[in-house]
């Protein structure tokens, strides 16, 4: 029970937290406007020099292994709908960690997505 | 907050890449890994044989390629678009996977699953009508 709870918290916080850190790293790079392969390669090299990117990748890896761990002790039909909450955690992180303006309309959209992802996973035969 | 022509277009193009290449990579990687024999033991020889089999599988390489495209599109779009915009919008991949499973693999899709796809589309439509960029570069 406790192990499952730890895995669940790690999936939500480390997984989504990692993506938030990657987002923060990319915001320090600035908007990409040149999509030629060489320019994209340069952006990737620059991104890899931002500490937030490494923290993000580390957290995402932790979240991924926590998901594998959770799947080893709980059913898929429980794990994936439960992790749909990460969309709500992501919107909160966007607002408080990245300073994004999450409007009521965006919250409603996120709520629809959480319900939708839950139904899609529950509806699998 | 900026609002330039083309911002929504390039955001949509990269989200489309994510929605297509993410699930495609997962499927290819899963298919490739299922075809190789499970690791017999943790002995160095068995570990080497397992990784050799994995990295000589075309499906595994196609999967890695697809996931690389996904990740590059993901970090590029995050260089300007809000995370709270990109994350829910990318959930459209659930809808695409369901639609493709129904259309090409002739899988039975339950009404609950269709209802979920509809809710996701509604959610993405709602999020999609907000501005993709509400912050300035740091």
Q: So what's the pLDDT on residue B40?
A: 80
Q: So what's the pLDDT on residue A70?
A: 85
Residues 6+ apart with CB under 8 A from B39: B46, B47, B50
* Domain count of the fold of chain A: 1
Cβ pair A96, A20 in contact under 8 A: no
Residues 6+ apart with CB under 8 A from A28: A50, A52, B137, B138
pLDDT tens string B31-73: 888 888 877 888 888 888 888 888 888 989 999 999 999 999 9
Cβ pair A113, B89 in contact under 8 A: no
DSSP class of residue B105 equals S
Task: Give the whole-angstrom CA distance, residue A97 versus residue A80.
Answer: 25
pLDDT tens string A82-116: 788 899 999 999 999 999 999 999 999 999 999 99
Alpha-carbon distance A15 to nearest alpha carbon in chain B (angstroms) = 12
Enter the tokens of residue B8.
């929504």
Report residue B51 CA to chain centroid gap.
24
In this complex, the residue of A30, A111, A122 whose CB is nearest that of residue B137 is: A30
Q: From B89, B98, B75, select the one nearest B125 (Cα to Cα).
A: B89
B94 pLDDT exceeds 90?
no
In this complex, the residue of B85, B94, B130 whose CB is nearest that of residue A120 is: B94
The answer to whether residue A32 neighbours chain B at the CB level (below 8 Å) is yes
ipTM of the complex: 0.89
Enter the tokens of residue A8.
């669940």
Task: Give the whole-angstrom CA distance, residue A86 versus residue A83.
Answer: 6
Length of chain B: 138
Confidence (pTM)? 0.86
Higher pLDDT, A79 or B128: B128
Q: Any idea what the Cα angle at residue B44 is, between residues B39 and B46, rounded to 5°?
A: 25
Residues 6+ apart with CB under 8 A from B3: B131
User: What number is the average pLDDT over the span A5-26?
Assistant: 93
Percentage of residues in chain B with pLDDT exceeding 90? Answer: 43
The answer to whether residue B8 neighbours chain A at the CB level (below 8 Å) is no
Q: So what's the pLDDT on residue A37?
A: 94
User: What number is the average pLDDT over the span B18-40?
Assistant: 85
The answer to whether residue B121 neighbours chain A at the CB level (below 8 Å) is yes
Which of A 48-107 lie inside 8 A of B, CB atoms?
Answer: 87, 90-91, 93-95, 98-103, 105-106
Neighboring chain B residues of A24 at a CB cutoff of 8 Å: 138
The answer to whether residue A38 neighbours chain B at the CB level (below 8 Å) is no
Element spanning B95, H or E: helix B92-103
B1 pLDDT exceeds 60?
no
pLDDT bin (cut points 50, 70, 90) of residue A21 is very high
Higher pLDDT, A41 or B35: A41
The answer to whether residue A36 neighbours chain B at the CB level (below 8 Å) is no
Residues 6+ apart with CB under 8 A from B90: B15, B18, B19, B22, B74
Q: Which domain holds residue A64?
A: 2-122
User: What number is the average pLDDT over the span A68-88?
Assistant: 81
Residues 6+ apart with CB under 8 A from B29: B59, B60, B63, B64, B67
Task: Give the whole-angstrom CA distance, residue B55 versus residue B135.
Answer: 42
Contact A124 B110 (CB under 8 A): yes
């Amino acid at each position: 029970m406790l192990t499952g709870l730890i895995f669940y918290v790690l999936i939500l916080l480390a997984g989504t937290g990692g993506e938030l850190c990657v987002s923060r790293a990319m915001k320090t790079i600035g908007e990409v406007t040149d999509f030629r392969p060489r320019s994209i390669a340069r952006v990737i090299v620059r991104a890899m020099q931002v500490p937030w990117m490494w923290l993000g990748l580390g957290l995402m890896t932790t979240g991924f292994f926590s998901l594998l761990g959770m799947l080893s002790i709980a059913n898929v039909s429980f794990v994936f709908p439960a992790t749909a909450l990460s969309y709500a955690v992501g919107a909160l992180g966007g607002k408080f960690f990245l300073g994004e303006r999450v409007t009521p309309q965006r919250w409603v959209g996120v709520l629809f997505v959480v319900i939708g992802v839950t139904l899609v996973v529950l509806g699998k035969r | 907050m900026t609002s330039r022509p083309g911002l929504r277009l390039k955001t949509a193009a990269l989200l489309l890449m994510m929605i297509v290449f993410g699930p495609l990579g997962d499927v290819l990687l899963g298919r490739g890994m299922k075809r190789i024999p499970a690791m017999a033991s943790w002995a160095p020889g068995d570990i080497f044989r397992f990784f050799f089999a994995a990295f000589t599988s075309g499906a595994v390489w196609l999967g890695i390629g697809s996931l690389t495209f996904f990740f590059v599109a993901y970090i590029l779009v995050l260089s300007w678009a809000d995370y709270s915009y990109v994350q829910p919008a990318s959930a459209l991949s659930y809808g695409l996977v369901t639609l493709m499973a129904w259309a090409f693999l002739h899988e039975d899709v339950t009404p609950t699953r269709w209802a979920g796809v509809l809710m996701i589309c509604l959610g993405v439509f709602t999020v999609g009508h907000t501005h993709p960029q509400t912050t300035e570069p740091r």
